[in-house]
């Protein structure tokens, strides 16, 4: 089922465009209707969003969706597994230990609930598609 094929212009102040979501383990067929829920999906939920980050910015929007670290602007972690596919521009993913990973168009990275922040150090807008899978946090390491 094709839900929509027009270009989306729904990006909010945080640069987020909700494309599709389900709050539970997905079932098919489904309506594909996007609810107005804010936050992150509960365990088993899946959201697909478009995300933009303007040049010279860090992903630090205090929009009530992600709780940011006041002492390290932009650093945050979520109870989710997030698959980012960069479509346009460049992004730098900075991890808690100082490691930085540069992403260019076509690159994919999975953020697995770890503390991180995003930078757009490029000259153009960065655009990504992100699939967010709600997860529960535990203390054991899974492979």
Report the topology of domain 16-29+39-134: Jelly Rolls (2.60.120)
99-127: pLDDT as tens digits: 999 999 999 999 999 999 999 999 999 99
The confidence score (pLDDT) of residue 121 equals: 96
Strands (DSSP E) found in the chain: 16-22, 46-53, 80-88, 91-95, 100-103, 108-112, 116-119, 126-134
CB atoms within 10 A of CB 117: 20
The confidence score (pLDDT) of residue 20 equals: 85
Q: What does pTM read for this prediction? A: 0.81
Taking 3-state DSSP, the helix, strand and coil percentages for the chain, each rounded to the nearest 5, stand at 0, 35, 65
Q: What mean pLDDT is predicted for residues 31-54?
A: 82
49-97: pLDDT as tens digits: 999 999 998 886 655 556 666 778 888 888 999 999 999 999 999 999 9
The radius of gyration of the chain from alpha carbons, rounded to an integer in Å, stands at 15
Straight-line distance from the first to the last Cα atom of the chain, in angstroms, rounded to the nearest whole number = 34
- pLDDT above 90 for 19: no
Q: What mean pLDDT is predicted for residues 10-30?
A: 75
Please name every residue paired with 126 in a beta bridge, in sequence order, or none if there are none.
Answer: 53
Q: Residue with structure tokens 């697995």?
A: 112
The confidence score (pLDDT) of residue 1 equals: 45
């Amino acid at each position: 089922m094709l839900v929509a094929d027009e270009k989306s212009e729904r990006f909010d102040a945080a640069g987020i465009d909700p494309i599709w979501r389900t709050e539970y383990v997905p079932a098919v067929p489904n309506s594909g209707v996007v609810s107005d829920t804010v936050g992150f999906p509960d365990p088993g939920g899946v959201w697909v969003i478009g995300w933009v980050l303007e040049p010279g910015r860090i992903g630090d929007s205090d929009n009530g969706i992600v709780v940011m670290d006041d002492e390290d602007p932009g650093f945050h972690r979520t109870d989710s597994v997030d698959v980012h596919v960069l479509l346009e521009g460049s992004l730098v993913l900075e991890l808690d230990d100082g490691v930085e990973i540069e992403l260019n168009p076509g690159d994919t990275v999975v953020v697995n609930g770890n503390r991180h922040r995003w930078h757009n150090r490029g000259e153009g807008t960065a655009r990504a598609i992100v699939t967010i899978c709600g997860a529960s946090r535990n203390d054991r390491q899974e492979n």
